[in-house]
Amino acid sequence: MNRKIVDFGRRNLAWVLLLVICIIFSFTNGNFLTLTNLLNILNQNAYIIISTYGIALIMMSGGLDMAVGYQMSICGVACALMLNAGVPIPVVCLITIALSIAFGALGTLLEQLLKLPRIFVSIGLSTVYQGVAYVITNSKTISGLSAGFKQIGQGTILHPNLTYATIIMILFGIVMSIVMDRTYFGRYVFALGGNEASARLAGINVKRMKYAIGMTAGFFCGVGALVLTSRVGAASAATGAGTEITILTGILVGGVSVRGGDGKIANCIAGVLIMGLLANGMQLAGLNTYYQYIAKGAIMLLVMWFDAFQIKRRALAASKRKEAAA
């Protein structure tokens, strides 16, 4: 019985931590666990969680992408410029998403051409996106977006604090959970993360899968950029900056290894929500933003250490099994 409890806790660590954080902050402020506050947290983190779906795929397949923050910024800037130029909202949304998909494909293309790990390519691209966004905007904020477009991130349904953005986040979360758990695409993603060479020998078109993963990540980044821009009601070169750290930490807390090969979308959602709950709870407790940075950094270090510990433990166990078999 105890072993079952331990195994359950290990598989659902992110949700256990989420529950613990909710209990702790409920004692520090009576407004923390109200429906209004919880819906606000979901709305504030909707664009991050939507983008997480794509970056989680990259990490589950054994890669790591750090360009998502400034990729969202440049997509948001492009979106705002088109809106202010009078382009219809549906066309703006389609072009923004298509642009982000193209960025996802570009990352995979450079990874293939330069023979470099995704993380190095993404760091370079992030700096390029940052520079281009600042050049386009001349370091200024683009505002005055149409009320119709703002409805994507600010419009509500059924409850004054339940936004369309939150609904979009939930629907995509359900779809991605099904895709990763019950389709060949999900199995191929895990196969790439487990052992790329073995996946190739098993008949998986690794190159095509990497493009599919990169472009899917680009799609979700584009949707996240639309949600963020509409919620803020403006766009700048720094709008999405720093988002990649929250996403990476949330995915790691959600149990996805830096080496890939496993993970669950639901746990990644819980991991990102932990970051959101921490930020909200600390604000309600009267702690400023700097303490939130410290907490996020400490959590990232802790989960990366734990991931490295798990990798070493599994490697040691495998080595012992080989010795026993010999």
* Rounded Cα gap, residues 274 and 18, in angstroms: 6
Does residue 61 fall inside a structural domain? yes
Other CB atoms within 10 Å distance of the CB of residue 120: 14
DSSP string computed for 289-320: HHHHHHHHHHHHHHHHHHHHHHHHHHHHHHHH
- Beta strand extents in the chain (DSSP E only): 156-157, 159-163
Higher pLDDT, 98 or 252: 98
Sign of CA dihedral 173, 179, 180, 186: negative
CA 223 from centre of chain: 12
Q: What is the largest CA-CA distance in the chain?
A: 72
Percent of the chain with pLDDT over 70: 95
Which of 285, 269, 267, 287 minimizes the C-alpha distance to 24?
285
Residue 316 CB: number of other CB atoms within 10 A?
A: 10
Spatial contact of 263 and 194, defined as CB atoms under 8 Å apart: no
Across the chain, mean pLDDT equals 89
Place of tokens 């080989």: 322
Asked if residue 66 is part of any domain, the answer here is yes
For residue 7, tell me if it sits in a domain: no
Of the listed ranges 64-78, 133-147, 257-271, 312-326, the least confidently predicted one is: 312-326
- Which of 115-119, 164-168, 277-281 has the largest mean confidence? 164-168
Residue 6 is assigned to a structural domain of this protein: no
In a domain, 326, yes or no: no
- Domain-embedded: residue 9: no
For the chain, the domain total comes to 1
Band (pLDDT 50/70/90 cuts) for residue 124 is very high
Q: What is the chain's length? A: 326
Structure-block tokens of residue 7: 């195994």
Residue 180 lies in a domain: yes
pTM more than 0.95: no
- For 270, the domain range is 14-26+34-314
Q: 42: domain CATH number?
A: 1.10.3470
